């Protein structure tokens, strides 16, 4: 075997092993409703005490992390909540659900390649199967005595950013604050979640989800006098989640809000 190939495989194996070790603190869970199952990973606060109440944050992954391994959804964002200082400063329950490969968090129609429009965000509509299951999981978590009902949060990237808006449209009264990274939505849906404080991020050179998809949401929220922060990274492409996670005050902004 080629020595370079051996080295690449060795490095790849080390990276995967390191990643698996890092995320091992997230327990493997599943939510079952009828005959359907939603896989998710959950991180409990250090020294978790079921007699106390903790904030609950749901993180929605992008389309590339869909599947049924109950692991890929942790590839982006999970390490942020594992940082020792963050665990100390923001003791919270963190949940990473995994969308199946053949589903999508948001209720939209993707382009067929005949036009430049890649995402057809729909006005209204019922939630898809994965979103329906996620809503069920959220209801189950709200029933837990250790969950702080006034401190539920949601956020996500790419497909998960779109799914964040979708979830807020269906359950605007549940969440104290939310964030969306390189997402988007139909302008007519925005009024549904105008009362939820939002921090929206996007890369100025995003070639996957154009910047305008977030701008449409932000402009409508501003028109409605809603509480919204908008951060654009002029040189970033689609991976604007990297600078977003590094933003000073990112987690403190989220957890400072109460319903």
CA distances from 91 to 45, 88, 185 (A): 5, 6, 31
Residue 244 within any structural domain of the chain: yes
Q: Kindly compute the dihedral angle of the four CA atoms of residues 223, 229, 230, 236, in this order, to the nearest 10 degrees.
A: -170
Please answer whether residues 106 and 165 qualify as being in contact, where contact means their C-beta atoms are separated by less than 8 angstroms: yes
Domain count, the chain: 1
Res. 177: pLDDT tops 70:
yes
9 pLDDT band (50/70/90 cuts)?
Answer: very low
Res. 11: pLDDT tops 50:
no
- Residue 167: the pLDDT is 98
CA distances from 232 to 185, 203, 210, 221, 243 (A): 17, 6, 12, 16, 10
Res. 112: pLDDT tops 60:
no
Mean pLDDT of the chain: 91
* pTM assigned to the model: 0.90
Res. 257: pLDDT tops 60:
yes
Residue 217 within any structural domain of the chain: yes
* Nearest-angstrom CA–CA distance, 161 and 206: 14
Residue 10 within any structural domain of the chain: no
Range of the domain at 136: 28-255
* Nearest-angstrom CA–CA distance, 178 and 213: 17
Res. 140: pLDDT tops 50:
yes
Residue 6 within any structural domain of the chain: no
Give the domain CATH number at 109. Answer: 3.40.50.1820
Residue 80 within any structural domain of the chain: yes
* Mean pLDDT calculated for residue range 142-148: 98
Residue 21 within any structural domain of the chain: no
Best CA proximity match to 93, nearest among 33, 21, 151:
151
- Residue 14: the pLDDT is 43
Residue 35 within any structural domain of the chain: yes
* Mean pLDDT calculated for residue range 177-185: 98
Residue 23 within any structural domain of the chain: no
């Amino acid at each position: 075997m080629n020595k370079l190939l051996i080295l690449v495989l060795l490095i790849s194996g080390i990276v995967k092993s390191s990643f698996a070790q890092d995320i091992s603190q997230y327990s493997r869970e599943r939510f079952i409703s009828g005959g359907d199952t939603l896989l998710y990973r959950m991180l409990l606060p250090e020294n978790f005490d079921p007699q106390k109440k903790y904030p609950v944050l749901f993180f929605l992954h992008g389309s590339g992390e869909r599947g049924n391994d109950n692991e890929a959804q942790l590839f982006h964002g999970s390490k942020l909540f594992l940082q020792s200082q963050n665990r100390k400063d923001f003791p919270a329950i963190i949940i990473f659900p995994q969308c199946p490969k053949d589903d999508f968090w948001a209720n939209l129609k993707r382009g067929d390649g005949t036009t430049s429009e890649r995402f057809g965000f729909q006005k209204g509509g019922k939630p898809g199967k994965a979103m329906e299951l996620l809503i069920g999981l959220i209801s189950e978590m709200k029933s837990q005595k250790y969950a702080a009902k006034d401190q539920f949060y949601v956020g996500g990237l790419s497909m998960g950013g779109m799914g964040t808006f979708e979830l807020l449209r269906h359950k605007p009264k549940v969440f104290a604050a939310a964030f969306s990274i390189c997402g988007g939505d139909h302008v007519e849906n925005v009024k549904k979640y105008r009362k939820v404080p939002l921090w929206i991020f996007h890369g100025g050179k995003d070639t996957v989800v154009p910047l305008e998809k977030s701008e449409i949401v932000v402009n409508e929220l501003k028109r409605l006098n809603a509480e919204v922060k908008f951060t654009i990274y002029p040189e970033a492409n689609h991976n604007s989640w990297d600078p977003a996670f590094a933003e000073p005050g990112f987690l403190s902004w989220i957890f400072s809000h109460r319903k």
